[in-house]
Chains A and B, each alone.
Chain A
Amino acid sequence: MITSYTRGRSETGEELKLQLYHLTKGGPRPLDMEFTGIGHQKLLVLLRDGRKLLGLLRSFDQFANVVLEGACERVIVGNLYCDIPLGLYVIRGENVVLIGELDLEKEELPSHMTAVPAAEIKRAQKAEREATDLKGSMRKRMEFLDFD
């Protein structure tokens, strides 16, 4: 099946609209995500490695390949978070877990969370990683005790 998506201006002018062309008739239709307003809509893309990317949707296809403009990675450690700017990102579909449309009227994060600079979040991230590593190695050493 050949399916292609192109982006063009709608006849009414301003809004970019997604157009879907099916070159074969009656074939299985990939889920049209109905993301209109490309370039205006802020998305959260969750990746398989747990990373959270935010950005404006530029394009996507039937494999869930996504192009994000002005992308940033949101790093969350406990109650701290930081948005690290990345730029234009092309994400291969197989790494995508979920694509969420953000409700701009709602708070993006709970109010008890605080924004911190990138250096601080990197430190917190490292500390968290070391703590989990330590827990893992302790568990391994105590395995002979057979708890659970």
Chain B
Amino acid sequence: MTYLFFSYFKDLVGREVTVELKNDLAIRGTLHSVDQYLNIKLENTRVVDQDKYPHMLSVRNCFIRGSVVRYVQLPPDGVDIELLHDATRREARGG
């Protein structure tokens, strides 16, 4: 069990992300929190294709189960590649 991505997502809290689910629903919102299963809580959400998902109209905050997430689209400046490289190398060395 690695916590690399968990810590990475924790650093992204407060940023605007788009979460695309395995059922093709894409939701944009402010990342409120994330946990070990990469469950995600978003605030001020809006569905990217609102007309296709009318039932999501009044959903402002939501909890997304980690197991149904396909992609998380990140803000471009939210990726510190050097840091991720370092952490990944450390992980590969086993410590």
Interface residues of A (CB under 8 A from B): 28-31, 33-34, 44, 46, 48, 50, 52, 64, 74, 76, 93-94, 96-104, 106-110, 113
Contact = CB atoms under 8 A, between A and B. Distances in A.
A100 B61 contact: yes
B21 A97 contact: yes
12 contacts: A29-B36, A31-B34, A31-B35, A97-B25, A97-B64, A100-B63, A101-B59, A102-B58, A102-B59, A103-B59, A104-B58, A109-B55
Interface string B52-73: 0011111111111101100000
Contacts of A46: 25
B39 A113 contact: no
Interface residues of B, number: 27
Contacts of A110: 54, 57
A29 B10 CA distance: 13
Contacts of B3: 28
B58 A107 contact: yes
B57 A107 contact: yes
Contacts of B33: 31
Nearest to B19: A98
